[in-house]
Amino acid sequence: MAVISAPHEYNEEQLFVDLEPIMHRSLYLKCEGFNFAGSIKLKPAAEMVAAAEREGLISSRSILVESSSGNLGVALSTIAASKGYEFLCVTDSRCNLSTRRLMESLGSRVHVITDPLADGGLLGARIAHIRALCAADDRYVWLNQYQNANNWIAHYRSTAPAIAREFPELDVVFVGAGTTGTLMGCARYFREYPRPVRVVAVDSVGSVTFGAPAGRRMIPGLGTSVRPAILEPSYVDAVVHVDEADAVRACHRLARRGFLVGGSTGTVVTGALRWLSENDPDGNLTAVAISPDLGERYLDTVYQDSWARDLYGDDVLDFPEVVGNTAV
């Protein structure tokens, strides 16, 4: 029995989904959406706030501020409500409406950026807005997930060890690349692991994180228009870029088997299956992919057929139905 007094004290770490019956490939999905913030971002949010408290950066007059496409904003809203802090989330027009409402329900303020910078896009504009706020008012405390080492430390201490405990013979782990906190925490942990574990980053087409050209990205969570400062590419064994249309197809395929997952999960699963098909055709490797959140926050986007077809074409949801092991 788990008994807690604050929402960030609970994370479900032992839930994995065997995707082989659905995807016909041995792949285990670590589900991170079962906590009071609804995503993996509760871990770095708690770690960054705790570190700021230890360092004396937060006082009774402070206003926490962070740039987020959604999930970290909800996580920080959850923690701020629990601790009695003010919080302002600076997001952009791609943030799901339900996510914005969640933050506001928790007592946070939300500022939506609509105009991208010519060099830096919407993320660059969000960061520029925060810098201006902090320069004008010393009450603002920017946690800065893009440079804050506690972002990846949270996953070094929790996410990666949890995978290792359940899969001691792990061969490869697939991690989505957003701020790269989860990626770097897992990569640093498995670099020190007693057996070789390959760490594969999964990124969105249009993201500049690993040097690819910038492009349109409509699904929040993965990808950046400004390379995160905490990224150390030397820790990553491979990078797979996934088109958003393929991510949407993966989400719908999983949903039709009862697993409603977030857009980032569709991206990670697609990238993992592609890499395994090319590098492990016989299915001998023990592979785990990380699912950052569940799908309820994407009902008006990824799971809205008209939204998907308007953005990605009429055939975006055309894929074989899978019954048992048979495509029909």
Domain membership of residue 1 (yes or no) is no
Domain membership of residue 283 (yes or no) is yes
So what's the pLDDT on residue 320?
61
Nearest to 256 by CA among 12, 22, 10: 22
Number of domains in the chain: 2
Report how far residue 200's alpha carbon sits from residue 198's, in angstroms, rounded to the nearest whole number: 6
* 324: pLDDT strictly greater than 50: no
* 132: pLDDT strictly greater than 80: yes
pLDDT tens digits for 80-126? 999 999 999 999 988 888 899 999 999 999 999 999 998 889 989 99
> Cα-flanking dihedrals φ and ψ of residue 131, to 5°?
-60, -40
* 327: pLDDT strictly greater than 60: no
Please check whether residues 136 and 182 belong to one and the same domain.
no
For all residues of the chain together, what is the average pLDDT?
A: 94
Please check whether residues 298 and 321 belong to one and the same domain.
yes
So what's the pLDDT on residue 167?
98
For the chain, give the percent of residues with pLDDT over 90.
Answer: 90
| CATH number for position 159 | 3.40.50.1100
DSSP conformation letters of 113-124: E-S-BTTTHHHH
Structural contact between residues 103 and 74, judged by C-beta atoms closer than 8 angstroms: yes
Please check whether residues 225 and 273 belong to one and the same domain.
yes
Report how far residue 264's alpha carbon sits from residue 177's, in angstroms, rounded to the nearest whole number: 9
So what's the pLDDT on residue 2?
86
So what's the pLDDT on residue 321?
54
pLDDT tens digits for 140-162? 999 999 999 999 999 999 999 99
pLDDT tens digits for 217-234? 999 889 988 899 999 999
Domain membership of residue 196 (yes or no) is yes
- Identify how many contiguous H helices and E strands the chain contains and give both numbers: 11, 12
| Residue 323 banded pLDDT, cuts 50, 70, 90 | very low
* 164: pLDDT strictly greater than 80: yes
Please check whether residues 226 and 280 belong to one and the same domain.
yes
Domain membership of residue 105 (yes or no) is yes
pLDDT tens digits for 44-65? 999 999 999 999 999 999 999 9
Which residue among 142, 177, 201 closes a domain?
Answer: 142
Which residue among 93, 126, 142 closes a domain?
Answer: 142
Please check whether residues 199 and 284 belong to one and the same domain.
yes
Please check whether residues 311 and 164 belong to one and the same domain.
yes
Domain membership of residue 78 (yes or no) is yes
Please check whether residues 217 and 314 belong to one and the same domain.
yes
Mean pLDDT of 2-9: 93
Please check whether residues 30 and 133 belong to one and the same domain.
no
So what's the pLDDT on residue 109?
97
So what's the pLDDT on residue 119?
85
Mean pLDDT of 276-282: 96
Domain membership of residue 251 (yes or no) is yes
Please check whether residues 179 and 133 belong to one and the same domain.
no
Please check whether residues 163 and 248 belong to one and the same domain.
yes
Domain membership of residue 112 (yes or no) is yes
* 328: pLDDT strictly greater than 80: no
Q: Which domain holds residue 86?
A: 42-142
Mean pLDDT of 312-324: 73
* 292: pLDDT strictly greater than 80: yes
Q: What is the sign, positive or negative, of the torsion defined by CA atoms of 63, 117, 42, 106? A: positive
Report how far residue 300's alpha carbon sits from residue 110's, in angstroms, rounded to the nearest whole number: 19
Please check whether residues 17 and 125 belong to one and the same domain.
no
Which residue among 90, 116, 142 closes a domain?
Answer: 142
